[in-house]
Each structure stands twice: as C-alpha cells, then as structure tokens.
Amino acid sequence: MEWSRSETVALARNSCTQCHGLGLRLGRGGKVNPCNCVLRSIFRACHARFRYCATKEKYMSRISLEFIPGRERSSSWGRKDEEYVADFILVSRRSLDEFEYQIFKYHFLLGADWKLCCRRLRIDRGTFFHAVYRIEHSLGRVFRELEPYGLFPLDEYFNGSVRSGLGLVPKPPAVAMIASRATRPVVPALRKTA
Ligand SMILES: [Zn+2]
C-alpha cells in the first residue's frame, strides 16, 4: 500500500522532530515511509479499542450484520468486539518475535507496568522501553497494512466501510436495522447461550 500525506498528517505528532507533523519520511531509494509517530498513534488507537472491547461487559456485545466487500457482496452475522479482540492478539502474535511477544503480553495485554515486566523478564528499563517502541512501530504498520482487511482504520473495521477507487464507501447503517427487523424470529436463536 502507498502511504499518503492526507492520511498521515492527521495521525502525526505536531512536535515530531523527524517528520515535523507531516507524518511521512523519505526512505532508501526515494521510498516514502510513514513516520514512527504515525505508526505509534495507529498502535495506540488499536490498543485503546482492544482494552475497551476486552473490558466491557460481555452481555453488551451485540451481533451485527456485516457487509463483506467483494464480488458476491454478501453479508454475514458476526460479533465484532470478540472478533476484534481475537484479531488484535493473533495478528500481534504472528508479527512479533518471542521476546517481543512476552513484553507485548505482559505490558499491553495484561497491563503490567515497566517495573513488573523488567522483574519478570529479567531485563533493564532501557531494554524494556526500546522493545515497547519497537513493538508499537511494527504493529502500527502491520495493523494498517494488513491485507485484505486491516485493523486500522477502526471505523472501517467496525462499520464495514470499504475502500473503493473513489475513497471510502460507508455501509448504510439502515441495512443492519432493516435486516434485524425482517429476521426478528431468527434473532433469539442467535443469542449466545453459554
Ligand atoms: Zn513524525
């Protein structure tokens, strides 16, 4: 995928000394790369959503009709919050090495602070924070670049808007409502029984 300034400028840190708030940096061979401040803000947005989904009461989770882009233009029933929590963990597990995943697990999934992580993993403070920055940068990029559907932008992930040649095409919210009314007898059968 190509990173564009229109996307990165909203995510970049104004005071960033690397990109000066533009969010892009010129890499080797003239290749345009997202700045680390952009990748970090993508990771932090995804992590905040993970914490929100993982901590809210289970009964609040709702079933939603998802729009699946593609030739068939089909839809399916899904539990977005649970799916997101699982995707967040699985994608991270796949992208990090063993050491990074240990830090990711203790710090980002279980919420342990740096002191606890350092004691548990027998590392010093500098090693811990270097690893944390590395994790934030690499996962920020993975969450955005993941094909066919990234975890970021979050509204695309949760609301099912799709990218087209003309930009974002949001799913009409009425679809879910009409469908749930039309199929009312089916809804109780879909409720979580456990
Ligand atoms: Zn920057």
How far does the centroid of ligand 1 lie from the alpha carbon of residue 104, in Å?
23
Three-state SS letters, the chain: CCCCHHHHCCCCCCCCCCCCCCCEEECHHHCEEECHHHHHHHHHHHHHHHHHHHHCCHHHCCEEEEECCCCCCCEEEEEHHHHHHHHHHHHHHHHCCHHHHHHHHHHHHCCCCHHHHHHHHCCCHHHHHHHHHHHHHHHHHHHHHCCCCCCCCHHHHHHCCEEECCEEECCCCHHHHHHHHHCHHHHHHHCCCC
Q: What digits encode the pLDDT tens for the residues 59-108?
A: 555 555 555 555 544 445 557 888 999 999 999 999 999 999 999 999 99
pLDDT, mean of residues 174-179? 37
> Residue 183: is its pLDDT beyond 50?
no
How far does the centroid of ligand 1 lie from the alpha carbon of residue 76, in Å?
39
For the chain, domain boundaries: 35-190
pLDDT band at 147 (very low <50, low <70, confident <90, very high): confident
Residue 149 is predicted with a pLDDT of: 85
Q: Structure pTM?
A: 0.74
How far does the centroid of ligand 1 lie from the alpha carbon of residue 20, in Å?
6
pLDDT band at 1 (very low <50, low <70, confident <90, very high): confident
Residue 22 is predicted with a pLDDT of: 95
How far does the centroid of ligand 1 lie from the alpha carbon of residue 75, in Å?
38
How far does the centroid of ligand 1 lie from the alpha carbon of residue 54, in Å?
30
Of 165, 192, 180, which Cα lies nearest the Cα of 75? 180
How far does the centroid of ligand 1 lie from the alpha carbon of residue 38, in Å?
6
